[in-house]
Structure 1
Amino acid sequence: MQVKIDTKEKFHAITILDPTITANMTADLQNSLGPYLQNDVKNLVLNLKSVEKMDLEAAETLVKIQQSFYENNASFVICEIQPTLESFLDDQQLLEIMSATPTESEAWDIVQMEEIERELLDDEEPIF
């Protein structure tokens, strides 16, 4: 799987360059994206602008990876989903559970807002 990685202050922007993500690439997805949870900067923006097709297994894996990021207090936002892929994900009822935006800039905004939200929640004192 070919990717382009752009590291920012609060997140990593990863663009998948392959036009198709097949079921046999799910291990590559997990191996490529999972380790970011161990970094100091563990938020991800996944840009799918080059991806035209995706197997159901790969789409389900993306949802699981995204959920694991949120479970670990990290953001994972998918952006620039092509119309045919968006339609496929919607038909599979996966799009509605994904954190997805039309543009990479909007994805950055979501990551930064979620980061601020986590910082504010961490600063709150428990009330007993």
Structure 2
Amino acid sequence: MQVKIDTKEKFHVITPIEPVLSATMTDGIKVVLLPYLKNEVKNVVFDMSNVSTLDAAVAEQLLHIQQDFYENNASFVACCVTENVETFLADNELSELLNVAPTISEASDIVQMEEIERELMDDDVLE
């Protein structure tokens, strides 16, 4: 799977180049995204602005990846979802499960808020 990567201070923006994310790409998505959990900056914003079609297997894989990120104290936020993909997620009752923001800026805000939450929770554990 080909992607464009833009590294920010608190997160990486990963943008798939292909307009179709098919079932055959599920392993490729995992290979591209999961290594970020080993980085110092673990958070990922998955920019879906180029994606016009999403397969159910890919959507399910994204949910698993999102869970992996949260289990590792990192954020995973999808953003810039096209109308076709948004309809697909809603029709398959996935839009409530996947952390989606309308824009990269709003996804950045979510990442920063989740970072603050994790810091506050860490402080509570230490007390």
Shorter-chain TM range is over 0.9
Q: Alignment identity in percent?
A: 55
Aligned residues: 127
Structure 1 segment 1-128 matched on structure 2, within 5 A: 1-125=1-125
Structure 1 residue 125, shift from structure 2 partner = 4.6
- CA-based RMSD: 1.1
Change over 3 Å in CA distance of 1:13–1:126 after alignment to 2: same
Q: TM-score normalised to the size of structure 2?
A: 0.96
Distance 1:126 1:45 in 2: 29
Runs of 4+ displaced beyond 3 Å: none
Label 1:87 to 1:8 Cα distance change in 2 as closer, same or farther (>3 A): same
- What is the TM-score with the length of structure 1 in the denominator? 0.95
What letter is aligned with 2:105? S
Instruction: Give, in angstroms, the shift of residue 50 of structure 1.
Output: 0.3
Q: Where in structure 1 are there 5+ consecutive unaligned residues? A: none
Q: Deviations over 1:42-66 (max 9, x none)?
A: 0000000000001110110011101
Which ranges in structure 2 are unaligned for 5 or more consecutive residues?
Answer: none
